Structure 1
Amino acid sequence: MKLIINTSSMVPIYEQIIDQIKAMILNHTLQENEILPSVRALSKELKISALTVKKAYDNLEQEGFTVTVHGKGTFVAAANTELMKEEQRKEVEAEFELAIQKGRRYGMDDEELKEIFALILEE
């Protein structure tokens, strides 16, 4: 599993891990029931603390993306299509929010932004 950690990013390392694993699950790079690297193996590979990886794995499990079986490892959870759709929707909303903020910084009003959105949808 290829994860890229940006140590100069303002995003905490555990969140970078979470985001990348979620993306791999959402785009089906990681399949249902596929085992993730052990906490120790991933921490060694990324040269980070095992506690950081553990925190990321715990968060993924709390959000329903993974399941941990004691003594066996952490696995990609069975696909919950509603959870997947909601996660994808949140990602798209975040991108729209960034675009709207950028447009407003450039002095665009809501009507201009709506026109641009309508134009893009027509393509």
Structure 2
Amino acid sequence: MNIQLNQKSDKPIYEQLKSEIIRLIMSRELREGEALLSMRALAKDLGISVITTKRAYKDLEDLGYINSVPGKGTFVAEGNQTMIREQSLKQLETQLRRTIELSRELNIDRTEYNDIVDILWEES
């Protein structure tokens, strides 16, 4: 798995890990039914705590991205890519509405808002 974590980020490591795994699933780098590394193996590979990987995996399972099978491992959830994408788009829309509302409160027009988004997009 090609997971990028930024130790200097304000975002907690477990959130970064969760976001990276979601990115890999949505981009189909991780396919439905594919096994994930064990929590211990992933923690070792990334140089992070097993507790951190456990929290990220639990959140991902709660969100329906992965399934854990006792004694067998953790796998990318099957048959719900469309549902997951819809949920993700809904979350994105909610966040965008918040930023648009804030922009209006700050008297930032659409052009300036788009400029900000373009700059941040390029930085990411």
Report the TM-score range of the alignment, normalised by the length of the smaller protein.
Answer: 0.7 to 0.9
| Structure whose CA Rg is larger | 1
Equivalent positions of 1:64-103 (< 5 A) are 64-80=64-80, 81-95=82-96, 97-98=98-99, 101=102
Shift of 1:3: 0.9
**TM value normalised by structure 1:** 0.77
> Which residue of structure 2 lines up, in the alignment, with residue 31 of structure 1?
31
3-state SS, counterpart of residue 9 of structure 2: coil
RMSD over aligned Cα, in angstroms? 2.4
Ranges in structure 1 where 5+ consecutive residues have no aligned partner: 118-123
Shift of 1:78: 1.1
8 Å CA contact retained: 1:32, 1:79: yes
For residues 8 and 46 of structure 1, the distance between their equivalents in structure 2, rounded to whole angstroms, comes to 15
For residues 33 and 17 of structure 2, the distance between their equivalents in structure 1, rounded to whole angstroms, comes to 19
**TM value normalised by structure 2:** 0.76
> Which residue of structure 2 lines up, in the alignment, with residue 120 of structure 1?
none
Deviations 1:20-57 (A, max 9, x none): 11111112111100011111111001111111101111
Runs of 4+ off more than 3 Å: 95-105
Shift of 1:93: 4.3
Ranges in structure 2 where 5+ consecutive residues have no aligned partner: 115-124
The count of aligned residue pairs is 112
For residues 46 and 110 of structure 2, the distance between their equivalents in structure 1, rounded to whole angstroms, comes to 41
> Which residue of structure 1 lines up, in the alignment, with residue 121 of structure 2?
none
For residues 49 and 69 of structure 1, the distance between their equivalents in structure 2, rounded to whole angstroms, comes to 22
Matched, 1:2 2:20: no
> Which residue of structure 2 lines up, in the alignment, with residue 48 of structure 1?
48
8 Å CA contact retained: 1:67, 1:74: yes
Equivalent residue letter for 2:95: A
Select 2:110's aligned residue among 101, 109, 113: 113
